[in-house]
A = this chain, B = another copy of it.
Amino acid sequence: MAEQVTAEQVGVVGLGGMGSGMASRLLDQGVRVAVFNRTAAAADALVARGARRAGTPADAAAPDGVVISMVANDAALEAVSDGPDGVLSRLGPNGVHVSMSTISAELARSLAARHQARGSLFVAAPVFGRPDAAAAGRLWILQSGTSAAKARVRPVLEALSQGIADAGEAADAAPIGKIAGNFLIAAAMEAMSEAFALLEKSGVDGRAWHDLMAKSLFACPIYANYGRFILDRAFTPPGFRLVLGAKDVGLALSTGKEKQVPLPFASVLNDRFLAALAQGRGEMDWTSIALNAVADAGLKP
């Protein structure tokens, strides 16, 4: 990439697998990066590569600058946004907070309003993809926010992704789209789990079946990869922890409740995730909801 992504510093708040991957990608692209994480050690490798270590979320944001947040849930985003150390206190006019986590529609609206009250901007830009895609700049991004704000951060989002879709002006549009997307993934997992249970108990070769599906009608990453995880019962280490999947299905239901939209599949999924949590699978990969169908069918786990 001959042209520079941006001359300004970009803050990255939240250095789990996803946040670290994005910060790393920005460093690769020659961007000046400031990083913050609640537990500081997560920043070490990035600092060694030239990132500036910020002492607080506010410190990761420059006045008039761009700061990205990628944290675990609504509460964590509140924690890095509010208070004297929060990014809201620092960004100022024309500064932009790009929220890339999966958050509730309600928090997106609330944060957008709080930013607006201070003259700063808010873009919701949740992503699809795993940490390796983040590090390679191969994420898929769904964004929403005002046109001005989106234009301001376009080069940064392009550096991180292979595709950006625009969900509209409303602060909560992209978050709702992300919630709907994760619901779609979870539904595919459950559908495959039920199908595999039926095949296994019927003595049908599930791998041959899956191979055919995954190279024909369902020739796409979710069915190819997640189907294999389920067939192999490869649930640890987790690619995405079940407890976070449960949170996301919960967001689908709470959004459905707010908007008065019944979601029968999400309801089944919610019951599946609660059972998995109750049975102690919260730290396994979320594909391990497949074990519910396995147990229900009286098959060996």
Report copies per complex. 4
Range of interface residues on chain A? Answer: 35 or more
A47 lies within 8 A of chain B by Cβ:
no
Which residues of A from 218 to 260 have beta carbons under 8 Å from B?
218-223, 250, 252-253, 255-257, 259-260
User: Nearest-CB distance from A259 to chain B (Å)?
Assistant: 5
Q: With an 8 A cutoff between CB atoms, is A201 at the interface?
A: yes
- A155 is an interface residue with CB less than 8 A from chain B: no
Q: Given B179, B197, B212, B278, which contacts A165 in the complex, CB threshold below 8 Å?
A: B212
The verdict on A83 contacting chain B, using a C-beta distance below 8 Å, is: no
Question: Is A75 among interface residues, defined by CB-CB distance under 8 A?
Answer: no
Q: Which of A159-195 contact B (CB under 8 A)?
A: 163, 165-168, 170, 172-173, 176-177, 179-181, 183-185, 187-188, 190-192, 194-195
Contact of A256 among B140, B198, B211 (CB under 8 A): B198
Contact of A167 among B168, B208, B220, B267 (CB under 8 A): B208
**Cα–Cα distance between A32 and B254 once the two chains are bound (Å):** 44
Q: In the complex, which residues of chain B have a beta carbon less than 8 angstroms from the beta carbon of A190?
A: 187, 264-265
A275 at the interface (CB under 8 A from B): yes
Say whether A203 faces chain B, with CB atoms less than 8 Å apart.
yes
Q: Which residue of B lies closest to A297 (CB)?
A: B261
Contact B255 A250 (CB under 8 A): no
Residue from B191, B199, B218, B275 within 8 A of A296 (CB atoms): B275
- The residues in A between 245 and 296 inclusive whose CB is less than 8 angstroms from any CB of B are 250, 252-253, 255-257, 259-268, 270-272, 274-275, 277-280, 293, 295-296
